[in-house]
Amino acid sequence: MRIVNIAVLASGKGSNFEAIVNAQRRGQIRAEIKLLLVDKVKAFARQKAKRLGVREIFLSPKDYPTSLEFDRAAVKILKSEKIDLVVLAGYLRILSPYFIKKYKNRILNIHPALLPSFKGIDSIQRAFEYGCKITGVTVHLVDEKVDHGPIILQEPVWIKKGMSLELLEKKIHHLEHKLYPLAIRLFIQKKLKIKGRNVSTI
């Protein structure tokens, strides 16, 4: 049985990327993390890739006239590396329909809220400022709409009285680092059954 090849796409700090690599090295994820692809020259994830010994590729949006051309270049790299699963880890670009079609039901994303609530950016802060009593983390498949694809896993985080935004962020990130490797493992083990928007574990 051929080992699953994973590419992680990131734009920022890379904390989920690091958590995924660590989970793989502990044996929780039986796959090969082939590369980290980044679209920001100053993304801190690049330094983490170097420290962790993971191949890193920087693809500059400035080199491509359109988002579609950028995605074509990204897909070409992924195909050349025989990537089976694309994992978005703080990747701030919206994937084109072209990209999504090439990796249909093989792109995972993690979102720091209980979707469909608080889609988009600054989700933790917006839930906190809204006065929510509960928020959480969602891992989902990526489709053509932002933060919309079928949900694989969700877990809540309670916002207790007196909790600071900083503490909430810490709790959310801690949960992300637990939930994402689990979702990846379920995918690799072919334990996900997808029917429309419903994803169940076999």
Domain count for the chain: 2
Boundaries of domain holding 185: 109-202
The verdict on 12 and 97 lying in the same domain is: yes
Which of 103, 122, 142 terminates a domain? The answer is: 103
Query: pLDDT band for position 1 (50/70/90)?
Result: low
Written as six digits, the tokens of 137 are 């983390």
The verdict on 164 and 89 lying in the same domain is: no
CA-to-CA dists, residue 178 to 18, 70, 182, angstroms: 12, 31, 7
The verdict on 83 and 118 lying in the same domain is: no
The mean pLDDT of 61-80, rounded to a whole number, is 97
Tell me, what CATH number does 119's domain have?
3.40.50.170
Angle between helical axes of 15-25 and 165-188 (0-180°, round to 10): 40
Which of 56, 71, 103 terminates a domain? The answer is: 103
The verdict on 70 and 46 lying in the same domain is: yes
Report, as residue numbers or ranges, the catalytic residues. 111
pLDDT at 35: 98
| Backbone φ/ψ region at 187: left (φ over 0), alpha (ψ -120 to 50), beta | alpha
Answer yes or no: is pLDDT of 2 > 90: no
- 11-52 pLDDT, tens digit per residue, is 999 999 999 999 999 999 999 999 999 999 999 999 999 999
The verdict on 158 and 198 lying in the same domain is: yes
pLDDT, the chain, mean: 97
The mean pLDDT of 166-181, rounded to a whole number, is 98
Lowest mean pLDDT among 132-136, 179-183, 196-200: 196-200
φ/ψ of 111, rounded to 5, equals: -130, 135
The mean pLDDT of 99-118, rounded to a whole number, is 98
Which of 83, 103, 123 terminates a domain? The answer is: 103
The verdict on 78 and 117 lying in the same domain is: no
* Three-state DSSP string of the chain: CCCEEEEEEECCCCHHHHHHHHHHHCCCCCEEEEEEEECCCCCCHHHHHHHHCCCEEECCHHHCCCHHHHHHHHHHHHHHCCCCEEEECCCCCCCCHHHHHHCCCCEEEEECCCCCCCCCCCHHHHHHHHCCCEEEEEEEECCCCCCCCCEEEEEEEECCCCCCHHHHHHHHHHHHHHHHHHHHHHHHCCCEEEECCEEEEC
Sign of the Cα pseudo-torsion (185, 188, 190, 195, in order): positive
